[in-house]
Amino acid sequence: MTTNFVDNLDNALIRSGRVDLHIEFPLATDEQLKKMFLLFYPNCKHDLSQEFVKQIRDNFKEGISMAAVQQHFIQNMLVEPNIVIDNVKQLGDRLDVIVQFDEKIEDKHNNNEKDKNSIGMKGDKINLLMSIK
């Protein structure tokens, strides 16, 4: 079970015995962004990884998940590193579409009865809840 809104989940749903492990995935740090850039482009100069981090921070003031960054690299894996950096704006455009869709879903839930199992993309972290059998 994953959610960006763990506080909205009913306590009975996430009680011990039902969910045994809670893992929080915070937003990407600068160091994580640099390392991921260099993993995808190992022969690249370090200053390009710094430029990538700068572009991410300029375009995502509230932060970004590592999953979104990895998706960006996978979608651009056949292009040069400088183009990946230039395409950061496109990543923002794709995420805006996801957030708009998520907000429509959230509005729909709020207009009906309160949904305590809300899963979305615009929270500041993702929580993974697991039951170990």
Mean pLDDT of the chain, nearest integer: 77
End-to-end Cα distance, the chain: 14
Structural domain contains residue 21: no
- Which pLDDT belongs to residue 29? 95
Q: What is the mean pLDDT of residues 19-44?
A: 90
Structural domain contains residue 8: no
pLDDT band at 125 (very low <50, low <70, confident <90, very high): low
pLDDT tens column, 88-115: 888 876 665 444 545 555 666 566 544 4
pLDDT tens column, 73-87: 998 888 999 999 998
Q: How many domains does the chain have?
A: 1
For residue 65, count CB atoms less than 10 angstroms from its CB and return exposed for 0-12, middle for 13-18, buried for 19 or more.
buried
Structural domain contains residue 10: no
pLDDT band at 34 (very low <50, low <70, confident <90, very high): very high
Structural domain contains residue 14: no
Nearest to 129 by CA among 9, 41, 35: 9
Structural domain contains residue 9: no
Provide the residue range defining the domain that includes 63.
Answer: 29-125
- Which pLDDT belongs to residue 105? 57
